[in-house]
Amino acid sequence: MSTDLLSSARKVMVIVAHPDDAEIQCGGTVARLARQGAAVSYVLCTSGNRGASEPAMTSERLTALREAEQRTAAARRGVSDMTFWRHDDGDLAYAAQPLRRELTGLIRQQRPDVIITHDPFAGLGRYEVCYLHPDHRAAGQAAFEAAFFCAGGSLFYPDQIAAGLAPHRVAALYLVMSDAPDSCVDIGDTFAVKVAAIQAHHSQWGKQPDLEGFFRRMAEQSGARWGVPLAEAFRLMQ
């Protein structure tokens, strides 16, 4: 099974572009991992500081609001270790270099077995906005480079090594929002927790009339190929 490395991981790092990405894409899986005793940490590349249309909202207030929502959502699934890098929402591709460096340092420090992140290669053959969100691709690309090229090589960012961090090799990436998923995790037992966690992102999902039904259909679609009633789908990269 290509989810074996994920289900047996003791340390999992989730690297996403925005608050709510992790809950939507892998909330049920994270809840399941946390129940099994795995240590799960979150890395938020942006705090979604431009994700509002109310004229009175400011970027600073939105950052504070969405980080608070993210902490509540994560706590509902047993996750408390969170890093907010606070790059500007929508501009992540232009922060590629500092982001890769930050992620490399954090991977060397936290030493995860596996990383869950966005699929940076999704949607390239056709135009689908949800796949091609520039921040999703940028977060996935930086995570992919940091995990597979930089963190394990001592000549990348030698100042981090000189400061006491050792190189670290991640066993696998599990990519979400992929248009070529190759495995799924059964979230039947944790679906309710996933929905409760998404509800914590009130600024983004508060107006959705049927949140439970919306995400139930998404989970049904994700599992259909494997005959799993409610699932989250991943693409394994090793």
Nearer to Zn ion, 18 or 77 (CB): 18
Does residue 18 bind Zn ion (CB under 5 A)? yes
Q: Does residue 24 bind Zn ion (CB under 5 A)?
A: no
Q: Which is nearer to Zn ion, 44 or 228 (CB)?
A: 44
Under the binding rule (CB under 5 A), the answer on residue 23 touching Zn ion is no
Select 157 or 205, whichever has its Cβ closest to Zn ion.
Answer: 205
Q: From the CB of 166, what's the least distance to Zn ion, in Å?
A: 32
CA–CA separation, 14 vs 100, rounded Å?
Answer: 15
CB of 129 to Zn ion, least distance (A): 11
Query: Can residue 100 be called a binding residue for Zn ion (CB under 5 A)?
Result: no
Minimum distance of Zn ion from residue 134's CB (angstroms):
10
Q: Is 201 near Zn ion (CB under 5 A)?
A: no
For Zn ion, how many residues bind (rule: CB under 5 A)? 3
Of the candidate spans 1-9, 13-21, 69-77, 107-115, the one that interacts with Zn ion by CB under 5 A turns out to be 13-21
The CB-of-171 to Zn ion minimum distance in angstroms stands at: 25
At CB < 8 A and 24+ separation, what contacts does 193-196 make? 193/27, 193/28, 193/31, 193/76, 193/77, 194/23, 194/27, 194/28, 194/31, 194/77, 194/219, 196/76
Residues in the chain: 238
Minimum separation from the CB atom of position 136 to Zn ion (A): 6
Minimum separation from the CB atom of position 176 to Zn ion (A): 10
Q: Do 95 and 87 meet the contact criterion of CB atoms below 8 Å apart?
A: yes
Interaction of residue 17 with Zn ion, rule CB under 5 A: yes
Q: Please, are residues 122 and 20 in contact by the beta-carbon 8 Å criterion?
A: no
Q: Is 21 in the site for Zn ion (CB under 5 A)?
A: yes
Residue 6 structure tokens = 């994920």
Residues in touch with Zn ion (CB under 5 A): 17-18, 21
